[in-house]
Amino acid sequence: MQITRVHSRVVELKLPAPFHPAWARGRNQATILLVLVAVETDAGIVGHTAAHAGPEAAIAIERFVAPYFIGQDPTRIELLAAVLRDAEILGPPAYFMEIALWDIVGKRAGMPVYKLWGGAQDRVTAYCATAELRTPEQRVEDVERMLAAGYRGVKLRFHHDEVRDDLKVVEAVRKAVGNRMEIMIDANQAGVEPGLTGHRIWGFHRSLAVARELEQFDVLWLEEPLPRDDYDGLARLRDRLDRIKIAGGEDNHGLHEFKLLIDRGCFDILQPDALLSDGIFQLRKVAAMAEAAHLELVPHTWGNGMGLLANLHLAAAAPNCPWLEFPHDPPSGFTAASRDQMLRETLSIDADGKLRVPDRPGFGFILDEDRIAHHTIAEYG
């Protein structure tokens, strides 16, 4: 089998209402932008993937990936993973391309990818990842609806000017849900956006003080309390805490960086993303390294339903993935339905709050081709 064509479509899908992500102050997001990629083969099998990105990703594929993929056997993924590592040296990351290759392998084998990688679970517990800042009263209303829908966990954002105001939201939510729901907190301190858009930079002492406050509310984990390369700070923070876990890694890239995060004792929970962090099978290796270190892996996902599905297979494959991020923050424009517009069906939890992995070959993507055709703004390849 040989790869014959790599075809990219840049797609811009409208959100039904305004969306103001807490981690990017001032942003009023009106659309979801993605690059849908089809890797075609001479066997008639087509592998799909989607970048959480715009035309820059399509151009990177054209320049740094497609010339090295075409003519190659798509099942020789460890050879092609090297192409993707080099692509990041030369241009924007293209790690999402490994998903299309595994989609081909799964289709060729007639098996879902998660079963090829261990098939530890058929369902993964989803936590409802919110994105906007809301008042305590609004968030209590939100979590009452989440509980009724079956969610077992909710993640809140900490981006008020005064952290005291963030803590008031947690206090109100904990009072409302009692012990019926886990609460996770994301500080989004690992990347550049808090530095450029007016967010408060925490630093070590604030992170420690906040984490200790969160322990009073039985918060399960604190995510990204410090910059992504503050290995010493993260390890010191983790050492000083008794009950709350420290999570992160969505902004770190590469197998070897994740080994470093594990070896330096930075996190209890690693959160790589199959669209962003490295090739998806490279992250299956990260899950194994985490397992050997008695750590958990809870994939990050945001942006689009194809990324959620890919990360679902990764989480279902390994024995140490207790949760999966499920981006959904009604009544803003970013909900499960808007997130999954490129798919024919919206992914949803069952009565136990779990996401079932589709029992279809590959990743089980079923694209809404009519909608995609209508919203395609550029094509490459």
Q: CA 136 to CA 181: how far, in whole Å? A: 16
Least distance CB 301 / Mg ion (angstroms): 10
In terms of CB distance, is 272 or 358 closer to Mg ion?
A: 272
Total number of residues binding Mg ion (CB under 5 A)?
Answer: 1
Which is closer to Mg ion, CB of 25 or CB of 360?
25
Shortest-Cβ-distance residue relative to Mg ion: 186
Give 103 or 186: the residue with its C-beta nearer to Mg ion.
Answer: 186
**Is residue 325 a contact point for Mg ion (CB under 5 A)?**
no
Cα gap 285→290, rounded to integer Å: 9
Nearest-approach distance from CB 104 to Mg ion, in angstroms:
30
Q: Alpha carbon of 114 to those of 118, 180, 358, 376: distances in Å?
A: 6, 29, 10, 30
Task: Tokens 């990703």: give the residue.
Answer: 57
Least distance between Mg ion and beta carbon 311 (Å):
13
Q: Which is nearer to Mg ion, 186 or 230 (CB)?
A: 186
41 or 130: CB nearest Mg ion: 130
φ/ψ (deg, to 5) at 251: -100, 5
Q: Residue 331 CB, nearest distance to Mg ion (Å)?
A: 22
DSSP notation for 128-144? EE--S---HHHHHHHHH
Residues 164-193 that bind Mg ion (CB under 5 A): 186
| Rounded Cα distance, 123 and 37, in Å | 27
Task: Give dist(CA 200, CA 133) in Å, integer.
Answer: 15
Contact 259, 289 (CB under 8 A): yes
Q: How many residues does the chain have?
A: 381
Q: Which lies closer to Mg ion via its Cβ, residue 186 or residue 340?
A: 186
DSSP three-state, residue 32: strand
Shortest CA distance to 21 belongs to which of 277, 264, 194?
194
Sketch the per residue contact string, 20 through 59, with Mg ion: x for CB under 5 A, - otherwise.
----------------------------------------
Distance of closest approach, residue 191 Cβ to Mg ion, in angstroms: 9
Binding site for Mg ion (CB under 5 A): 186
